[in-house]
Structure 1
C-alpha cells in the first residue's frame, strides 16, 4: 500500500492500516432483488364483493353482529400457548441482538487478586502477600464490517420474531373464527336434523295407525319407519360433530368446558351476520402489511448480512488491546513494595491458509441467502393466490346464497303440501319421504353456503394480514392491538 511509508510510528501505522482497509466497500443490501420478489399485480382479477360500492373494510370483528365472537378471540389470544412461545422467542432474539450489538464496542474487564505465601521448608522466611488490580480492554476494529453485519443480522431476526408473533395472532384469530362459525353451522344443522327426525317419527306413527285400519300398505309403513330411523341416525351423528367442535374450542380458548358452554349458549345455532361487512376495494399493495411476509423479508436481510459477515471473515482482522495493572508486595515484619504497569498496541490476524474453510463458509452463507430470497418470492406468490382465492370464494358464496335460500324455501313449501296430500290419501309414502329428503338437503346446503361465505371473509382477513387499513407500523407485542 503506497501510504505505508517507512518511518511511521506505531500509532500512526495502526491508524493508516485502519483507514486503508476500511476503505474496502461492503456491497449494499439487495433492495432490487427484494423489490422484484415483492412484485404484486396492479389489480386483482377476482371480482370484489358487492361490486365495490360500499365502505372499506377496516375493523373486522366489530362488524359482525355477534359479540361472543370477539370475546372468544380475545380470550384465545390471552391463553394461547403458541403466542406465549412466540413471545419467548422474541425475548431470545432480542437478547441475541443485544449480544451481537455489544460486540461492536470495546470490552473492558476488571480483575483483582490477593495471595499470601510462606515457604514451609525454610525456617525464618516471612510471609509474603501479593495484591494486584488490573483493568483490561480489547476492541476489534471492524475493518470489513464483519461485526456490524453480524449485529444487523441479529437485529433483523429479532424484528422477524416480532412479526412472527403478529402473524401468529392473525392466524389464530382466523382459526378461532372458523371454529366458531363451524360450531354455529353445526348447531343449525342439528336443529334441522332434530326437526326432520321429529317430523319423520310423527309420519311413521301416522303411517302405522293408517296401516291398522287398512288405509296404508305394509310397504309404505316400512318405508316411513326406515326413514325415521335414518333421521335419528343423522341426528346422533350431527350431535357428536357439534360436541367435537366444542372440544376444539375448549382447547383453543383455554377455558373450562362448562364456562365455554355458558358463554356460547345465548347465540345457539345463530350464524354471525355481516350486514355491515362490505368491501370497497382491495389495494394491490395490501401484501406489504402481511406480517408473515414482512418477517420473511427480515429473514432475507438477515441472511444477506450473514453472507457479508462470512465474506468479511476471509480478510484480516485488527484488534486493539491494552491493560493497566497496580500491584503491591507486603512482607510480614518488613516493608511494602508497590508497582504498576501498562500495555497497549494493535494485533493483526492475517489468514494465509485454511484449506478453503472460510471460502466454504462464505459460499454456504450465499446459498442460504439465495434460499431465503427464493422462499420469500414463493411466499409472495402464495399470498397473492390466497387473496385471489378468498375473493373468488366470497363472490361465489354470496351469489349462491340467494339461490340456496330460494331452493330451501321452495322445497319446504313442497314438503308441507306433499304431507297434506299424503294425509288426505292423494300422495304415496315414497313421495312424502322424497319431499322430506329434498327439504333436508336444501336446508343443509343453505347453512353450508352461509358458513362458506363467512369462511371466505375470514380467509380474506387472514390473506390481507388482518384487514387492509394499512397501519403506520406494526404494534409491539406488549400492546393490545385489535385483530
Structure 2
C-alpha cells in the first residue's frame, strides 16, 4: 500500500511542479505609466483660435462650413466610399472571430449517426451491420482564465477595428472636404486668371490699334501677345488641375469619374473657427488613438493567455446513444450506451514551445505599446501643426490683403497713365502681372486656411467641445 502511495506521488510530482511554475508565470502583464507621454494642460498654439468666437459643435462637423454641396459629397462618401466599406467588413470579420473565440467557453454538443458493414471474428467472420446514433457533449472548465483571456483579447481586437472604422470615416470625410475646398479655390483662381486674360486681350487690341496708327512700336504688340498666350496657357493648366481634383472626388464618393461632375460655382463656403479644447480630450476623441489603445490591451490579454498555457487543461466529457444490428432495434433499452469522463492534461516537456509563446506575446505587447505611444505623439503633433498653421496664416492673410489692395491700385493708375500716353505699355503689363500674382497668392492663403481648419477638426478627432 505504501508503495502504491509512493508511486502515485511520484507520478504527480511533474504535475505539481508544473503548477508551481504556472503560478509564477501567470502574473498579469503590467505597463509602467511613466512609459507613456505626459498630457499637457494646454496646447502651445491654443492662442491661435482664442481671438475669434468659436463655431458651435455639431456631430456632423462638416456642416459648420455651411456648404450644401459639401454636405452632399460627404454624406455620399460616408455611405459609398470603398475604404469605409473595407473597414466595415474588417470590423464584421473581427466581431465574428470574437464570437467564435467566445464560443469555446460554452458547452459543445454534437449529434452523430452511422451505419457500418463489417465482419465479426467471433461469428466465423460473417458480415453484419451495426447502426448507431448518439450525442457527444464536452466542456472545458476555464479554471485558469485561458479561454476568458482569449475571448477578452478577441473582443478588444473588435473594439480596435470599430475605432479604425471611425478613423477611416473621419479620414475619408476630411479628404472629401479638403479636395472639395481645393476645387472651389481653383474655381476662383480660374476666374481670376480669365479676368486677367480678358484684360490682356483688351490691352492687346488697344496696342494693335495704336500700332496701326503709328503711336507705338511693334515690340509693344509682341509683348501684349506674349502675355495673352502665356495667360491662356496658365488657364488651361488650371483646367487640367480642376479635372484631376474632380476625378479624385469621384473616387472618394464611390462614383465613376466619367459620369461624375461638380459644376463650377462661386466659393461661398464659411470659414469657421474651431477651438482646440483640452489636450486630454484628443486621446478620447481620436479613433486612431482608441484603436491603438485597444490593440495594446488585447496584447496584454494575450500575454495572460500565453502564460496560462503552463496550466493543465481540465475538460468534462459525456456521450450517450444507441447501437444495434437492426434499425428496428436501435432505440430499445438494451441497445443504449453512455459514458462520462474528465480529462486533465498538461504537457511536461515541449521543447520550449510554451516559453517561446510567452516571449512572443511579450514582444507583441512591446510593439503595441510602442505603437500606442507613437499614436499619442502623432495626435498632439497634428493638433499643434494645424494650430500653428492657422495662427501664421491669419497674419499672412492680413499682409497679403494689403498687397492685393496696393497692386490693384497700381494697375488702375498704370492703365490710366498708359491710355493718356504718359507711360509705356510695359509698365501696364508689369502692374497687371503683379496684381494677378498677388491675388492668386491671397487665394492660396485663403485655401490654406480652409484646409488647416479641416485638418484641425480631423486632428481633434472630429470634435472640439
Cα shift at 1:406: 2.5
Residue in 2 that maps onto 1:481: none
Residue in 2 that maps onto 1:473: none
Deviations 1:399-419 (A, max 9, x none): 322222222122112112111
TM-score w.r.t. structure 2 length?
0.87
Residue in 1 that maps onto 2:12: none
Alpha-carbon contact 2:115-2:129 (below 8 Å) kept? yes
Give 3-state SS (helix, strand or coil) of 2:113's partner: strand
Residue in 2 that maps onto 1:253: 253
Which of 355, 363, 371 is the equivalent residue of 2:367? 371
Alpha-carbon contact 2:163-2:288 (below 8 Å) kept? yes
After TM superposition, list the pairs within 5 Å mapping 1:5-404 onto structure 2: 26-28=26-28, 30=30, 32-33=32-33, 36-37=35-36, 39-51=38-50, 54-55=53-54, 57-59=56-58, 60-115=61-116, 128-255=128-255, 260-261=260-261, 264-265=262-263, 268-274=265-271, 277-287=272-282, 288-330=284-326, 338-404=334-400
Give 3-state SS (helix, strand or coil) of 1:379's partner: helix
Query: CA–CA distance in 2 between the matches of 1:350 and 1:331?
Result: 42
Give 3-state SS (helix, strand or coil) of 1:338's partner: helix
Cα shift at 1:175: 0.1
Query: CA–CA distance in 2 between the matches of 1:24 and 1:409?
Result: 77
Query: CA–CA distance in 2 between the matches of 1:186 and 1:439?
Result: 17
Query: CA–CA distance in 1 between the matches of 2:370 and 2:276?
Result: 30
Runs of 4+ with deviation above 6 angstroms: 19-25
How many residues end up aligned between the 2 structures?
445
Give 3-state SS (helix, strand or coil) of 2:325's partner: strand
Give 3-state SS (helix, strand or coil) of 1:108's partner: strand
Cα shift at 1:199: 1.0
Cα shift at 1:23: 7.8
Structure 2: tracts of 5 or more residues without a match:
9-15
Alpha-carbon contact 1:129-1:331 (below 8 Å) kept? no
Cα shift at 1:341: 2.6
Query: CA–CA distance in 1 between the matches of 2:400 and 2:328?
Result: 104
Q: Tell me whether 245-254 or 65-74 shows the greater mean CA deviation.
A: 245-254
Query: CA–CA distance in 1 between the matches of 2:256 and 2:412?
Result: 43
TM-score w.r.t. structure 1 length?
0.84
Query: CA–CA distance in 2 between the matches of 1:272 and 1:88?
Result: 34
What is the CA RMSD across the aligned residues, in angstroms?
Answer: 3.0
Residue in 2 that maps onto 1:446: 442
Structure 1: tracts of 5 or more residues without a match:
9-15, 470-483
Query: CA–CA distance in 1 between the matches of 2:428 and 2:458?
Result: 45
Query: CA–CA distance in 2 between the matches of 1:191 and 1:102?
Result: 64
Query: CA–CA distance in 1 between the matches of 2:260 and 2:337?
Result: 73
Identify, as 1 or 2, the structure richer in helix: 2
Cα shift at 1:180: 0.2
Cα shift at 1:389: 0.6
Query: CA–CA distance in 1 between the matches of 2:313 and 2:258?
Result: 65
Deviations 1:388-443 (A, max 9, x none): 11111112222322222222122112112111111111112221111011101111
Query: CA–CA distance in 1 between the matches of 2:90 and 2:328?
Result: 58
Cα shift at 1:289: 1.2
Alpha-carbon contact 1:315-1:351 (below 8 Å) kept? no
Q: Tell me whether 417-426 or 207-216 shows the greater mean CA deviation.
A: 207-216
Cα shift at 1:207: 1.3
Query: CA–CA distance in 2 between the matches of 1:26 and 1:42?
Result: 38
Cα shift at 1:273: 1.5
Alpha-carbon contact 2:137-2:317 (below 8 Å) kept? yes
Deviations 1:210-231 (A, max 9, x none): 1222211232322222112111
